Amino acid sequence: MSVTIKSEAEIQIMAEGGKILATVLKKVAEMAKPGVTTLELDRLAESLILAAGAKPAFKGYLGFPYSLCASVNETVVHGFPDNIPLKNGDIVGLDLGVLWKGYNTDMAVTVAVGEISFEAKRLIDVTKKSLRLGLKKVRAGVMTGDLGNTIQRFVEDQGFGVVRTLYGHGIGKQVHEDPYIPNYGKRATGDTLKEGMVICIEPMVTMGDYEVKKNSDGWGIVTRDGSLSAHFEHTVAITRDGCRVLTQE
């Protein structure tokens, strides 16, 4: 494993990119309404990123053809934007990356489309809170197993599943860097977080079983049982006393 420690100057560049990303993703999320297509959301995301002087981090990455991952209902992550209009009651995970001055940031939110069920809203709320709890756990010296255990225990106590075959990750000049950041685990196991590391924490939570499979397009990851899934993510820098969230306005 090769973990890169970022300087204060590098972290500041990533914070600039993260601010662009958070601003763009907020506007994209606001547009996710019944009748709008995820392809329209993708085009909006790309145009706003380019207008800010940045580049979409995902477009072309490992062959991915879009700027935005749009994951509807049972799709956990990596959903292809398409021309199917969103409908009332859907939930959609919006995962977006920005490349700014040679450094990447990565962020995701899951939003309601129109009026959604009580359980779908609870799924979104629990996933969002699990990320907040994970962020509170982060500081130099903490092990990735402790972080994952914090997220897992909260999510499972709420009756939901935590995806085990997909992880958070380090980030910087590459979209995905070491180390892996699992959303489950045992305390006092895994890699030790160090001051200056920049990582993405991204709980992926299911309403049913945590098992997933690849979609027919070879990209999208869906729940094996067809249950709803939610996803939230922030890019954060590890500090001595906690973490600095880089993907915020």
Distance of CA 5 to the CA centre of its chain: 21
Model pTM above 0.95: yes
* Helices marked H in the chain: 8-31, 38-51, 118-137, 144-157
168: left (phi over 0), alpha (psi -120 to 50) or beta: beta
The H or E element that residue 170 is part of is: strand 168-170
Please tell me the distance from the alpha carbon of residue 133 to that of residue 24, in angstroms, as a whole number. 25
Structure-token pair, residue 42: 């993708």
Structure-token pair, residue 139: 């500081």
Please tell me the distance from the alpha carbon of residue 150 to that of residue 129, in angstroms, as a whole number. 11
Predicted pLDDT at 94: 98
- Mean pLDDT, consecutive 10-residue stretches, the chain (249 aa), reads 91 98 98 98 98 98 96 98 98 98 98 98 98 97 97 98 97 97 97 97 97 93 98 96 95
Please tell me the distance from the alpha carbon of residue 229 to that of residue 92, in angstroms, as a whole number. 9
Predicted pLDDT at 151: 98
CB 83 within 8 A of CB 40: no
Cβ-based neighbour number of residue 165 at 10 Å: 12
Please tell me the distance from the alpha carbon of residue 27 to that of residue 95, in angstroms, as a whole number. 13
3-state class (DSSP) for residue 59? coil
* Cα three-residue angle 29-31-33, rounded to 5 degrees: 100
CB 180 within 8 A of CB 197: no
Domains of the chain, CATH where assigned: 8-245 (3.90.230.10)
- DSSP code for 17: H
Predicted pLDDT at 1: 64
Query: Residue type at 178?
Result: D
Please tell me the distance from the alpha carbon of residue 94 to that of residue 108, in angstroms, as a whole number. 5
Predicted pLDDT at 240: 85
Residue matched to tokens 């490992």: 62
